[in-house]
């Protein structure tokens, strides 16, 4: 190989390298122009999406704090100018109680679970209703999520209707 063709090769080689470096820099500039500048905004969006994806489909309150008033039939009624719409026991159960009373969450007796409820109903209506609205053991107070009337209807549905058991008056 002659010195001449060596230098030709080197020149072409340097040219190609230079071209590649140029293209790389150009691409970096293009990428930066289209995506740079709004990092904070993009991060906030990604964060929001991640939180939404990680959130469960239902909310469970374990801290004992009352349920948000938004879910309350009473609050809704107030917002609608005092027109009270009482939900049925089944509706309340589906909306509120099912989060724990389906699947034995923290030993919550299941809907229609004869054995589970059998040992509790002896407490009577009054005690059971109070326990639900004010909280009992592992169950946080439900008074914010349903009215007294609705809680009573839900107990009737979950226990009496679904197990055939009968709760004594007190
Ligand atoms: C956050 C979970 C959770 C929700 C929501 C919930 N419960 Fe409970 N519930 C429990 C658990 C846990 C127990 C068992 C408590 C214990 O014995 O420690 C229980 C117990 C009960 C008892 C028996 C109380 C007693 O004195 O033995 C009744 C009745 C009851 N729930 C009704 C309801 C009704 C009606 C609703 C809906 C308005 C409801 N629960 C919503 C978790 C829940």
Q: Where are the domains of the chain?
A: 3-54, 69-163
Dihedral Cα 103, 104, 109, 111, nearest 10 deg: 0
Cα of 53 from ligand 1 centre, angstroms: 28
pLDDT at residue 5 is higher than 90? no
Residue nearest to atom 27 of ligand 1 (CA): 120
What are the C-alpha distances in Å from 138 to residues 77, 88, 141?
Answer: 29, 25, 10
Q: How far apart are CA 141 and CA 65, in angstroms?
A: 7
Identify whether the C-beta of residue 68 lies closer than 8 Å to the C-beta of residue 140: no
pLDDT at residue 39 is higher than 80? no
Cα of 132 from ligand 1 centre, angstroms: 6
Cα of 24 from ligand 1 centre, angstroms: 64
pLDDT above 90 covers what percent of the chain? 58
The mean pLDDT value of the chain amounts to: 86
Nearest to 108, CA basis, from 137, 71, 148: 137
Q: What is the model's pTM?
A: 0.62
3-state helix, strand, coil in the chain (%, to 5): 65, 0, 35
**pLDDT for 73:** 55
**pLDDT for 41:** 83
Identify whether the C-beta of residue 165 lies closer than 8 Å to the C-beta of residue 159: yes
Mutate to test the pocket of ligand 1, among 108, 124, 170 (most ligand atoms within 8 A of CB): 108
Instruction: Give the least confident one: 50-59, 94-103, 115-124.
Output: 50-59
Nearest to 151, CA basis, from 71, 57, 77: 71
Tokens (6 digits) for 99: 């989060």
Phi, psi (deg, nearest 5) at residue 136: -155, 125
Q: What is the CATH number of domain 69-163?
A: 1.10.760.10
- Which residues line ligand 1 at a C-beta cut-off of 6 Å? 60-61, 92, 96-97, 99-101, 105-108, 120, 123, 128, 131-132, 136-140, 142, 146, 151, 154-155, 158
Cα of 65 from ligand 1 centre, angstroms: 14
Residue nearest to atom 42 of ligand 1 (CA): 139
pLDDT at residue 8 is higher than 80? yes
């Amino acid at each position: 190989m002659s010195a001449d063709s060596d230098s030709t090769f080197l020149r072409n080689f340097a040219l190609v390298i230079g071209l590649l470096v140029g293209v790389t820099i150009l691409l970096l500039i293009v990428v930066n122009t289209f995506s740079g500048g709004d990092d904070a905004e993009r991060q906030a969006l990604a964060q929001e999406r991640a939180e939404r994806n990680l959130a469960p489909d239902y909310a469970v309150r374990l801290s004992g704090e009352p349920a948000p008033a938004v879910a309350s039939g009473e609050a809704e009624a107030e917002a609608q100018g005092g027109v009270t719409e009482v939900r049925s026991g089944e509706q309340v159960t589906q909306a509120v109680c099912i989060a724990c009373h389906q699947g034995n969450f923290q030993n919550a007796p299941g809907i229609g679970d004869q054995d589970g409820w059998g040992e509790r109903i002896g407490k009577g209506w009054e005690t059971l209703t109070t326990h639900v609205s004010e909280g009992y053991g592992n169950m946080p107070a439900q008074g914010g999520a349903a009215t007294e009337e609705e809680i009573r209807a839900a107990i009737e549905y979950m226990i009496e209707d679904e197990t055939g058991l009968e709760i004594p008056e007190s």
